[in-house]
C-alpha cells in the first residue's frame, strides 16, 4: 500500500473546485456536477488514506509490543530495541494520519 499522500487528494480537490467554479461562472450544469463529484471523490480518498495509515500504525505498534517480549525471552537486546523502534514508528504513523 502507498503511504498517505495528501498532495494527491488535495490536487484532485483543487481540480474539482476549479471545474465547479468554472461551471458556475459560465452556467454549465454538467461542469458543476462533475466538479462537485470530483471534490467529493477527493475527500473520500483522503479519508480512506488516513484510515489506512491509522490501521498500519496500530499494526506496527502491536508488532512492536510483541518483539521486545520475544527479545527478553531469547535474551536478545537487538530484538528488544527493534520492538521499541516499531512501537515509536507505529505511534508516529498514527499521529501523522489523524
Question: What pLDDT band is residue 36 in, cutting at 50, 70 and 90?
Answer: very high
Q: What is the mean pLDDT of residues 64-72?
A: 65
Q: Burial-class residue 98 by CB neighbours within 10 Å (0-12, 13-18, 19+).
A: exposed
- pLDDT given for residue 1 in this prediction: 41
- CA-to-CA separations, 64 to 40, 79, 87, in angstroms, rounded: 36, 10, 5
Rounded-to-integer distance, Cα 27 and Cα 16, Å: 16
pLDDT at 80: 65
Contact between residue 70 and residue 38 where contact means Cβ atoms under 8 Å apart: no
SS3 label, residue 37: helix
Kindly tell me if the per-residue pLDDT of 88 is higher than 90. Answer: no
Q: What's the mean pLDDT when you consider all of the chain?
A: 79
- pLDDT at residue 93 is higher than 80: no
User: DSSP secondary-structure letter at 4?
Assistant: P
User: Under a CB-based contact definition with an 8 Å cutoff, are residues 53 and 79 in contact?
Assistant: no
Please determine, for residue 78, whether its predicted confidence score (pLDDT) is greater than 90: no
Q: Which residue has the higher pLDDT, 14 or 83?
A: 14
Residue 25, C-alpha cell as written in the block? 461562472
What was the pLDDT predicted at 2? Answer: 46
Amino acid at each position: 500500500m502507498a503511504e498517505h499522500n495528501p498532495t494527491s487528494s488535495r490536487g484532485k480537490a483543487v481540480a474539482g473546485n476549479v471545474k465547479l467554479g468554472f461551471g458556475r461562472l459560465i452556467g454549465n450544469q454538467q461542469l458543476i456536477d462533475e466538479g462537485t463529484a470530483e471534490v467529493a471523490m477527493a475527500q473520500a480518498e483522503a479519508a480512506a488514506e488516513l484510515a489506512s495509515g491509522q490501521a498500519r500504525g496500530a499494526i506496527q505498534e502491536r508488532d512492536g509490543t510483541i518483539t521486545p517480549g520475544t527479545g527478553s525471552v531469547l535474551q536478545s537486546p537487538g530484538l528488544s530495541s527493534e520492538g521499541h523502534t516499531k512501537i515509536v514508528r507505529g505511534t508516529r504513523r498514527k499521529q501523522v494520519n489523524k
